[in-house]
Amino acid sequence: MMTEDDKRLLRIAYDEAKAGFDEGGCPIGSVLARGGEVVSRGRNQRVQGGDPIAHGEMDALRKAGRQKTYRDAVLYTSLSPCMMCSGTIVQFGIPRVVIGDATNFGGNEEFLRSRGVEVVIAEDPDCVALMKRFIEEKPELWAEDIAE
């Protein structure tokens, strides 16, 4: 179930994704929040920074810096997280993930659920449309991002 905070914070993740797209990168944005407040926000930086593990979720977590706990946080992501990011979510004990788009890429939602993570799939039309556009316009970059 999506709350008003979920909608607002997922929109920030979308804004990060759009900024990454406008920079020529992969349009995947993320927000780490606690109590409805932004702790950090980030976007996929693989192209911009030449960093193969700088996915949107990883960028947001890096920008959050050291946290005493993640067990009271929510991670918002414009696209369903890959296995690397899903593993990080589990490793850090993030209890809830809100996903903007599981249409263009998915598959790790059940992995997260099997590890006790609450997974909310929003299928936000803007998140879905932006990723669809990216995949159509830059299929080689998308294949590189998902290691195909």
CA pair distance 75, 118, nearest whole angstrom = 11
> Nearest to residue 44, comparing CAs of 74, 72, 82, 71?
82
Number of H helices, E strands in the chain: 7, 5
Q: How far apart are CA 38 and CA 26, in angstroms?
A: 22
In 3D, which of 148, 4, 13 has the Cα closest to residue 75? Answer: 13
Q: Tokens 């932004």 label which residue?
A: 38
- List strand residue ranges (DSSP E) for 1-143, in order: 29-34, 37-43, 73-77, 96-99, 118-121
Residue 53 corresponds to which tokens in the numbers above? Answer: 């593990």
Q: Decide if 57 is catalytic.
A: yes
What are phi and psi for residue 31, nearest 5 degrees? -135, 135
Active-site annotation holder among 57, 136, 137, 140: 57
Catalogue the active-site residues: 57
